[in-house]
Amino acid sequence: MAAEVCKPLAGMLVVEAGDRPAVSACGSLLRDLGARVVVAEDESSATAATRPVRLAGKESVRATAMAIEQLLDVADVAITSSDTTATVAFPERRATQVRCDITAFGGSGPLSGIAASEALVQAWAGTAEVTGRRDGPPLVTPAPLLEMEAGAYAAAAVLAAIRVLRRHGIGQEIDIALYDVGVNALAAFLPLAFAGREASRDGNRHAILAPWNSYPTRDGWVMVCAPTDDQWRRLCDVVGKPGAAESLDLATSGGRLEHLEQIDLIVSAWTRDRTVAKCLDALAAAGIPSGPIIDINDLEHEPNLRHRGTVVRATDPQNSVGVLVPGPLLGERVQVAPVIPSFGATKRLAERNRAPRRGTVDRTITFGGFPLAGIRVIEIGMNTVAPLAGRQLGALGADVIKIEPPTGDVNRSNAPFRQDAGTYIFAVSNTDKRGIVLNLRDPEDARTLHALLSTADVLIENLKPGSLDRLGFSAENLRREHPGLVYCSMTGFGHDSVYKGRPALDTVVQAMSGMMAATRQDGMPTKAGISVADQLGGQLGLVAVLGALLAHDADGSGARLDIAMQDATVWAGQHIWNGASPEPCEIIGAADGYVAVVGLDRAHIAALLGVREDELGATTRALTRDEFIAAVDPTLTRIAPVRTVVEVIEADQTAARGLLVSRPTIDGDAWTVLESPLRLAATPARVRTAMPRLGVIDIALHAELTAAHATSAERAGMRAGT
């Protein structure tokens, strides 16, 4: 949620002409930023359980061919899903229109055009493979996580394209693929594959960090995450095993990753004798990220979500029943729930809407330019959340300067390591950034940061709430000294929170957002394998910053943005609220792995294979995945192989989309990193560089700072002489 009202899209008309959840997610974020959003919906949508969350705060028009053509004629922004609405003839895009097409596999590659559902894309992209217990089959999450992440990335791409439109007078096409989003979501697992280690599911553990797991208590389950050396030492004190912190086997992140069973025995022996509340009190007092696993039906009563207005109750006009809908993530906290329109309630639209154009229009931009050219971003980020936003802003052309403490981003210390001691996860998480090491407790380094901020448009950070305040860099202080600065904090529970200063990591937030309770294996709540809370926090921060930059472009205004990972993760689960359930998905073993089948029960699958249902398991285990798929559905609309991470890395679709690329560092190295999923046709996002080793000096940045310090000293001398 943003702490300030920012409506940079006021006066713009956005049309949703597609039925993917990502389409409505993108439209909802643009609605939060002030756009008028009109949804073209057909009769089947009127009674769908997902309709309240998709339509809240929007308008409804019956989706006839004529209505869609008229809507797209007047829209400033059109959001479509052409693979699932292939029978709709979309009119040609106007030169000044932004059109975003969200599909399963994008506009290129061997899988392009296949209208795969969320569950099947989770299988193709490897995110199903990394979800679930190691001793069980892969899991598909019931919440459409890739759709929701794709919706956030689509909104970011649309905002970047609107910036180009307002500055240069040209619209463009945008291609967002769920598959691209899924491959990007494997960021925590790619390092294991790159290092030649198994990259697969492991229940509620983390792929490369430990301790990180759910533990039984006397009355439930508690999630505990203490991956840094300092957190591990404090956890050992809490559980009464201080000697474990000094053990040579467990003293480092790499050692802990090798001894997961030993760590879990130490922690669970302590939690089993206590209630959830007692465990959380002790862990909170020690500053250990932890939380209870909350049921999705209890979200509206969760204290922080109620405080922040994340989940609100509205009335469904179709049946006058009370339903839950998400409050605005990027705007003013609402006291009144957004209105859900009746089906087809909007009969007429005004003539072509045009957002008020601000400033002069420069039509000299060439295809291939960057949407954020000329924007400077300062990143004070650790781990995933702010670094994700920073690398996407960098791919869009911003000059991103990453501030690291003398010890570096903690991801520089997280295994697995290359032979040269570099860390894969840091390289994957930090591209298109220049770096500088500052100790912000040192007055001279603090002045250096202020010098950088005086030249910056944006500051993004995801430190524990209050950390920058104690160093003199509170939002209030910075807004006084740098009034035009867009200041975006991305934290677990927000600065405006009932959990003041509470630390949070990905799985703790999943636990406290209903996500784990909704995803069960043999009845046990299970986290999504991908770091969905981290990623959504970064993606929503990215969207909020791009929205605030549109206002900044217009009048130089700054903004204070307060993004909570908990808000973002709850928002991502909205399509399984109000009794809605996804299409059933069966995960079935084959001779060389697993296959996901959607919309067909086991009896139907057995019939297609020509066997009895009780023979299904033995039959499929004798078939390869390709043989299984050819026998059941060669069109690939109902079935997909559950790919491993290594198979995703080597897949033709991954190569065709250019999702893994080798990029250089300024100190002569190179890393395999992720390409951006933001595919803007005229002004594409492009990953160009990886970050060097800690402390390597960027010559241009060093010269700039030297000149700034010299000017500052000269001014001080002149003042002293007068």
Mean pLDDT estimate for the chain = 92
- Residues 8-23 have a mean pLDDT of 96
Domains, in order of start, for the chain: 202-294 (3.30.1540.10), 585-641 (no CATH)
Other C-beta atoms lying within 10 Å of the C-beta of residue 89: 9
Report pLDDT digits (tens) over 284-318.
999 999 999 999 999 999 999 999 999 999 999 98
Q: How confident is the model at residue 5 (pLDDT cuts 50, 70, 90)?
A: low
Measured distance CA(357)–CA(367) in Å, rounded: 21
Report pLDDT digits (tens) over 180-205.
999 999 999 999 999 999 999 999 99
Report pLDDT digits (tens) over 441-463.
999 999 999 999 999 999 999 99
In contact, 189 and 199? CB cutoff 8 Å = yes
> Residue 306's pLDDT is what?
94
In contact, 81 and 19? CB cutoff 8 Å = yes
Q: How confident is the model at residue 678 (pLDDT cuts 50, 70, 90)?
A: very high
> Residue 356's pLDDT is what?
43
Residues 6+ apart with CB under 8 A from 495: 3, 465, 475, 489, 562
99 phi/psi in degrees, rounded to 5? -125, 125
Strands (E), 6-133: 13-17, 36-41, 59-62, 77-80, 98-103
- Residues 408-435 have a mean pLDDT of 94
Half-sphere exposure of 169 (CA within 13 A, CB side): 7
> Residue 362's pLDDT is what?
53
Give the pairing of strands 321-326 and 311-316.
antiparallel
Q: Which of 44-48, 508-512, 608-612 has the lowest mean pLDDT?
A: 44-48
> Residue 20's pLDDT is what?
97
Instruction: Tell me the residue type at 29.
Output: L
Distance of CA 620 to the CA centre of its chain: 35
Burial-class residue 693 by CB neighbours within 10 Å (0-12, 13-18, 19+). middle
Residue in this structure with the two tokens 């007692």, named with its chain if needed: 278
- Residues 625-642 have a mean pLDDT of 96
314 phi/psi in degrees, rounded to 5? -130, 175
Report pLDDT digits (tens) over 352-404.
555 444 444 454 555 668 999 999 999 999 999 999 999 999 999 999 999 99
CA angle 51, 55, 56 (to 5 degrees): 115
Measured distance CA(291)–CA(527) in Å, rounded: 13
Distance of CA 531 to the CA centre of its chain: 8
Measured distance CA(127)–CA(138) in Å, rounded: 9
Report pLDDT digits (tens) over 314-366.
999 988 899 999 999 887 666 567 899 999 888 877 555 554 444 444 545 55
> Residue 360's pLDDT is what?
47
Instruction: Tell me the residue type at 556.
Output: G
Report pLDDT digits (tens) over 574-606.
999 999 988 899 999 999 999 999 999 999 999
Other C-beta atoms lying within 10 Å of the C-beta of residue 501: 15
> Residue 44's pLDDT is what?
84
* CA 516 vs CA 211, 385, 697: distances in Å: 18, 20, 43
* CA 475 vs CA 5, 324, 459, 468: distances in Å: 16, 33, 10, 9
- From its phi and psi, is residue 309 left (phi > 0), alpha (psi between -120 and 50) or beta? left
Nearest to 388 by CA among 504, 532, 502: 532
> Residue 152's pLDDT is what?
98
Which pair of structure tokens corresponds to residue 174? 């945008």
3-class state of residue 514 by DSSP: coil
Angle between helix 699-721 and 443-453 (nearest 10) = 100
Measured distance CA(553)–CA(457) in Å, rounded: 10
Q: Which of 276-290, 336-350, 507-521, 603-617 has the lowest mean pLDDT?
A: 336-350
Which pair of structure tokens corresponds to residue 502? 């509470």
* CA 587 vs CA 128, 179, 595, 606, 625: distances in Å: 10, 19, 6, 14, 12
Report pLDDT digits (tens) over 79-118.
999 999 877 778 899 999 999 999 999 999 999 999 999 9
DSSP H/E element including 309: none
> Residue 249's pLDDT is what?
84
Q: Which of 175-189, 241-255, 356-370, 508-522 has the lowest mean pLDDT?
A: 356-370
In contact, 110 and 486? CB cutoff 8 Å = no
Residues 6+ apart with CB under 8 A from 140: 118, 119, 122, 123, 128, 131, 585, 587, 596
Nearest to 530 by CA among 140, 264, 255: 140
In contact, 562 and 475? CB cutoff 8 Å = no
> Residue 357's pLDDT is what?
42
DSSP, residue by residue, 591-658: TTEEEEEES--HHHHHHHHTS-GGGHHHHHHTS-HHHHHHHH-TTSSSEEEE--HHHHHH-HHHHHTT
Which pair of structure tokens corresponds to residue 83? 């693979």
Measured distance CA(500)–CA(496) in Å, rounded: 8
Report pLDDT digits (tens) over 564-574.
999 999 999 99
DSSP, residue by residue, 447-494: HHHHHHHTT-SEEEE-SPTTHHHHTT--HHHHHHHSTT-EEEEEESS-
Q: pLDDT: is 252 or 240 the higher one?
A: 240
> Residue 244's pLDDT is what?
87
Residues 6+ apart with CB under 8 A from 292: 220, 221, 222, 223, 276, 280, 511, 512
Give the pairing of strands 458-461 and 486-491.
parallel
Angle between helix 229-238 and 276-285 (nearest 10) = 130
Which pair of structure tokens corresponds to residue 651? 């897949």
Question: In residues, how long is the chain?
Answer: 722
Report pLDDT digits (tens) over 172-181.
999 999 999 9
> Residue 391's pLDDT is what?
98
- Residues 37-54 have a mean pLDDT of 91
Strand order in the sheet with 559-564: 433-437, 399-404, 376-380, 458-461, 486-491, 559-564
> Residue 424's pLDDT is what?
96
Measured distance CA(294)–CA(305) in Å, rounded: 12
Residue 721 has pLDDT above 60, yes or no: no
Burial-class residue 40 by CB neighbours within 10 Å (0-12, 13-18, 19+). buried
